Amino acid sequence: MTSIDIKKVSSRGKVVIDLDVWMNDPNDHEFSPRITLSGNSIELRVPGHEDLLASIELDDDALQLAERDRVVEARIKFNVHGMHGTLTHRTPNPRSGPKSKKLAEPRWKVMLPLQ
């Protein structure tokens, strides 16, 4: 894993964090994030990496929900350097109808306890 970007934090009954995780290797399966609440900000760390990977300040509503529930829902989108990025050549036959098939996306949704 190379980096983590926090895209958005929303609070609708619970705190939801949208993350983009960039990895160097598609076979890197050792990703287990830990979230801590320090003051009014959420900090994201991964065991084995002592440094802080991402941090964001919460507004008052999200902070109250996080302290009440002591859990955060993380919606994670995985990207791999060299595999995901901007398309330069689009297919001439896009499938956009009622019987079109959507490609699988590397997404993960998990409830993380606050530590």
Residue 93 lies in a domain: no
Residue 22 lies in a domain: yes
Q: Are strands 15-23 and 71-80 parallel, antiparallel or unpaired?
A: parallel
Residue 95 lies in a domain: no
> What's the rounded Cα separation, in Å, for the pair 68 and 87?
43
The structural domain count of the chain equals: 1
Residue 19 lies in a domain: yes
Residue 96 lies in a domain: no
Provide the domain limits for residue 24: 3-84+106-113
Residue 101 lies in a domain: no
> What's the rounded Cα separation, in Å, for the pair 91 and 95?
9
Residue 94 lies in a domain: no
For the chain, give the percent of residues with pLDDT over 70.
Answer: 78
What H or E segment, with its residue span, contains residue 77? strand 71-80
Q: What is the pTM of this model?
A: 0.75
pLDDT over 90 (residue 71): yes
Query: CA angle 114-50-21, nearest 5°?
Result: 70
Segment 44-68 mean pLDDT: 88
